[in-house]
Chain A
Amino acid sequence: EAQVTQNPRYLITVTGKKLTVTCSQNMNHEYMSWYRQDPGLGLRQIYYSMNVEVTDKGDVPEGYKVSRKEKRNFPLILESPSPNQTSLYFCASRRTGDKNNEQFFGPGTRLTVL
């Protein structure tokens, strides 16, 4: 089944404890992206990657890191999480050249930073 998977789905952590949220897609998509969803703000893009070894900042990159060493994986790293990073996170992927520019989203990771 074609899908985007994220792990963990739920995470409660404490301020300053480094964490990684993994994202993997099995559709051989070149493009991958991370978003956070907060009430009243919709989804905001954190980072995106047009292909392996290429990453760019979205609108809210502060406090996050990403890497794209392989096509299928795009982990999101929070080196020193803070309470304002408590949010619902989504990973997405897309085939370059798709006529609809359609992105496929993962099921989300709910992160709470205490």
Chain B
Amino acid sequence: DQQVKQNSPSLSVQEGRISILNCDYTNSMFDYFLWYKKYPAEGPTFLISISSIKDKNEDGRFTVFLNKSAKHLSLHIVPSQPGDSAVYFCAVDSWGKLQFGAGTQVVVTP
């Protein structure tokens, strides 16, 4: 039962433009929402997170938006850089129990 969905398996964006990644979840009891980035042959690395009591969190080029009524999470990367090419996973954390989406492969083109 997939409670976290990333409906876009891939995204291609031009360098310098904005990348928008989306994630939907079903359970309104999740208390923390996270984004991880993964390069091939490496473990995922933490990117940014947001607690359920907020609707926006920003860290440099990365901004996460949380729309609780729509049960929707998004990640904005601006401007996109070639080093951003990776697989991005959204995750929801419910007191230590985590569920991840299937991931979105982002390719940043020159």
Which A residues form the contact surface with B (CB < 8 A)? 4, 31, 33, 35, 40-45, 48, 50, 56, 58-59, 90, 92, 100-108
Contacts and interface: CB of A to CB of B under 8 A. Distances in A.
Interface in B70-91: 89, 91
A42 B89 CA distance: 7
A92 to B, nearest CB: 8
Given A33-B96, A101-B34, A101-B51, 6 more contacts: A42-B6, A42-B103, A44-B100, A101-B93, A105-B43, A108-B43
Contact of B49 (A4, A44, A90, A102): A102
A43 B44 contact: yes
Contact of B101 (A42, A90, A101, A102): A42
A56 B95 CA distance: 11
23 contacts: A35-B98, A42-B6, A42-B89, A42-B101, A44-B99, A45-B98, A45-B99, A48-B97, A48-B98, A50-B96, A56-B96, A56-B97, A59-B99, A90-B43, A100-B48, A101-B49, A101-B51, A102-B46, A103-B46, A106-B43, A107-B41, A107-B42, A107-B43
B-side interface mostly: strand
Contact of A41 (B42, B44, B91, B102): B102
B32 interface: yes
B75 to A, nearest CB: 14
Nearest to A45: B98
B33 to A, nearest CB: 9
A48 B96 contact: yes
Interface string B28-47: 00001010100001111110
Contacts of B48: 100
Interface string B1-13: 0001010000000
